[in-house]
Amino acid sequence: MSDTTVVTVGAGMFADAVEGQAVEVERVDWRPPMPGTEADLARVATDPRRIAANAQAVQAMLGVTAHLVDVAPASEVLGLEKGQFLHAGPPIEWARTSGPLRGALMGGAALEGLVDDPEDAVALFESGSSVSLEPCHHRNAVGPMAGVVTPSMWMWVLEDRATGARTYCSLNEGLGKVLRYGAYGPEVLTRLRWMGDVLGPLLQAAVRGTAEASDVTGILTQMLQMGDEAHNRNRAGTLMLLRDLSPAMVTSGFESRDVAEVLRFVGGNDHFFLNLAMPACKLALDAGRDVPGSTMVVAMARNGTDFGIQVSGTGDEWFTGPAQVAEGLFLGDYGPDDANADIGDSAITETAGIGGFAMATAPAIVRLVGGSVPDALATTRRMHEITLAENPRWSVPVLEFQGTPTGIDVTKVCRTGILPQINTGMAGRVAGVGQVGAGLVTPPAEIFPKALAALAARVPG
């Protein structure tokens, strides 16, 4: 014990006293936990299951490799029927939906032929007859922004070959006036129909015609070293996907005009890979679900009204609070008053340790979300305070290849008050507007003490 070093947490005087004896001291910058959480924190900390449970959840998550195995309509792979709508975030009824989710549902109803004019869908959803709303997460799926999925939409299918588990996500429409941002004008529906008629079938042919299925987890590894954080920047990932799929597209037998159109569309949409990053993250996190005693967050999702989280140790229960409005930069003349509250399942990327958590690796976009490069480094470092592990596959070169902070721990969030940092797009508040900006947002703080209380209530004895 002669080379004793001391870590102190609490009164600075004791650290001073040890330092005065010429002993190396590391001081913890301790502050009180979120109000009222002390007893629950102690109860969960001393839950004899916790340490092993978290190790199991983390290992299960880190062990998943997501392969792209198919592209197919939601009606086929999710069994979605006419009138059934999936949406982002925790469950919500029409009356409480926000503008962008309404707009996307209205456009989706028109796409499915339930109404001719999207405006007529309002009455349909108000009546509630013959239509139903369900979170994507309840069907092993995720959807960016409004996340609306209808039966005719084509879905990416990702699989963990070790277990056969699968997750799903729709195809990305690009930026601007798009359904997922709540736009439902004619150009939106025209594009969606083309995606159903041409893009989906061609991608299906390409995926099925590619001998070596794309390793989406592996692409994420590479893109994180190429300036993408896989939430607001997916440029390198998109191009790597094209590299994988282009040969089979060319030999698919589809009209060369259609192939060219698809290559142009994908190559011109820097966010195209987001819809693969998200289900890859979900596939990994789903493997960490339902471990009794685990305090790891397995989903963060927003429906434009509520922000919800699910936690490994508390099953399918959602802990929700009001979604916040992001801070960042706005397109054109739009300003903060035009922005809707946070929306989308894309926070699954942060839940898995990328997106805002990997901000340090994406300096190219720090100004897009209103930050600086030092902010980005500090953000990633700060997220290590609230996570259980570092992901050895997803490393950040500028931080000496340290793994990204992975596996949000409810107890650490409550202890430090540090909230998960999410990079996000901003949808217009009014249905039909589309995207108005991009920025940074955090969950409402109160959902973490709620989840903690549920964990504490489940501690045996």
Partner 1 sequence: MKDHVELRSGAYADSVTLLQVSRAVQTTPGVVAAQVAMATGLNLEVLEGMGFDVPGSSPNDMVVALRLDDDADVATALSAVDAALVPRRPTSGDATVAPPRTTGAALRRGGTGAVVLVSVPGASATVEAMDALEAGHDVMVFSDNVPVAEEVALKTYAATRNALVMGPDCGTAVIDGVGLGFANAVRPGRIGIVAASGTGCQQLLALLHHAGGTCAEVGVRHALGVGGRDLSSAVGGLATREALSRLDADPDVDLVVVVSKPPAAEVAGELTAYVDTLGTPVELGLLGRGQRDLTAVAEAVLARLGHDAPDWPVHGADNTGPATGPLLRGLFVGGTLCDESMLMATDVLGPVRSNIPLTDDLALGDELLADSHVMIDFGDDALTQGRAHPMIDPTLRNEQLARAAADPSTGVILLDLVLGHGAEPDPAALLAPAIEAARSERPIPVVVSLVGTDLDPQGLDAQRDALVAAGAEVHLSNAAATRRALDLIGAFQ
What's the closest the beta carbon of residue 237 comes to partner 1, in angstroms?
A: 26
CA distance 46 to 441: 32
Write the DSSP assignment of 406-444 as a string of letters.
EEEBHHHHHHH-PPPPEEEEEEBSSTT--EEEEEEE---
Place of tokens 């045996």: 460
Q: Does 460 bind partner 1 (CB under 8 A)?
A: no
CA distance 278 to 262: 21
DSSP 149: B
Q: Which is nearer to partner 1, 38 or 316 (CB)?
A: 38
Candidates 34-42, 156-164, 304-312, 450-458 — which segment interacts with partner 1 by CB under 8 A?
Answer: 34-42
Q: How far is CA 344 from CA 244, 267, 278, 418, in A?
A: 28, 23, 11, 21
Q: Which is nearer to partner 1, 106 or 386 (CB)?
A: 386
Identify the residue among 63, 268, 315, 374 touching partner 1 (CB under 8 A).
374
CA distance 162 to 149: 27
Identify the residue among 1, 95, 123, 211 touching partner 1 (CB under 8 A).
1
CA distance 423 to 231: 7
- Residue 378's φ and ψ, nearest 5 degrees, are -65, -35
Total residues binding partner 1 (CB under 8 A): 50
Q: Does 457 bind partner 1 (CB under 8 A)?
A: no
Query: Residue 418's closest CA among 12, 51, 31?
Result: 31
What's the closest the beta carbon of residue 323 comes to partner 1, in angstroms?
A: 23
Q: Which is nearer to partner 1, 41 or 299 (CB)?
A: 41
What's the closest the beta carbon of residue 225 comes to partner 1, in angstroms?
A: 19
Give the x-and-dash track for 287-306 against partner 1 (CB under 8 A): --------------------
Q: Does 123 bind partner 1 (CB under 8 A)?
A: no
Query: Residue 78's closest CA among 229, 279, 214?
Result: 279
Which tokens in the block code for residue 391?
Answer: 């992901």
- Residue 160's φ and ψ, nearest 5 degrees, are -95, 105
Candidates 163-171, 186-194, 298-306, 374-382 — which segment interacts with partner 1 by CB under 8 A?
Answer: 374-382
Q: Does 14 bind partner 1 (CB under 8 A)?
A: yes
Q: Does 8 bind partner 1 (CB under 8 A)?
A: yes
Q: Does 30 bind partner 1 (CB under 8 A)?
A: yes
Give the x-and-dash track for 43-82 against partner 1 (CB under 8 A): --xx-x--x-------------------------------
Q: Which amino acid, 80? A: L
What's the closest the beta carbon of residue 403 comes to partner 1, in angstroms?
A: 12
Q: Which is nearer to partner 1, 3 or 337 (CB)?
A: 3
Greatest Cα pair distance, the chain, in angstroms, is 80
Which tokens in the block code for residue 363?
Answer: 């300096």
Candidates 25-33, 137-145, 180-188, 229-237 — which segment interacts with partner 1 by CB under 8 A?
Answer: 25-33
Candidates 12-20, 161-169, 196-204, 213-221 — which segment interacts with partner 1 by CB under 8 A?
Answer: 12-20
Candidates 251-259, 299-307, 314-322, 382-390 — which segment interacts with partner 1 by CB under 8 A?
Answer: 382-390
Q: State whether residue 386 is helix, strand or coil.
A: helix
Q: Does 385 bind partner 1 (CB under 8 A)?
A: yes
> With contact defined as beta carbons under 8 Å apart, do 274 and 231 qualify?
yes
Q: Does 27 bind partner 1 (CB under 8 A)?
A: yes
Identify the residue among 382, 445, 446, 454 touching partner 1 (CB under 8 A).
382
Neighbours of 8 (CB within 10 A): 18
Burial class (CB in 10 A: 0-12, 13-18, 19+), 149: buried
Positions in 399-438 near partner 1 (CB under 8 A): 411-412, 415-416, 418
Q: Does 268 bind partner 1 (CB under 8 A)?
A: no
Identify the residue among 191, 381, 393, 458 touching partner 1 (CB under 8 A).
381
Candidates 3-11, 64-72, 113-121, 223-231 — which segment interacts with partner 1 by CB under 8 A?
Answer: 3-11
Which tokens in the block code for residue 368?
Answer: 């897009």
Each as own residue / partner, the long-range contacts of residues 398-401 (CB below 8 Å, 24 or more positions apart, any chain) are 398/360, 398/361, 398/363, 399/360, 399/361
Query: Residue 352's closest CA among 303, 296, 292?
Result: 296
Q: Does 137 bind partner 1 (CB under 8 A)?
A: no
What's the closest the beta carbon of residue 419 comes to partner 1, in angstroms?
A: 13
Which tokens in the block code for residue 404?
Answer: 């990204």
Q: Does 5 bind partner 1 (CB under 8 A)?
A: yes
Q: Does 12 bind partner 1 (CB under 8 A)?
A: yes
Place of tokens 């896989």: 230
List residues near partner 1 by CB under 8 A: 1-15, 17-18, 20-21, 23-24, 26-33, 35, 38-39, 41-42, 45-46, 48, 51, 374, 377-378, 381-382, 384-385, 411-412, 415-416, 418
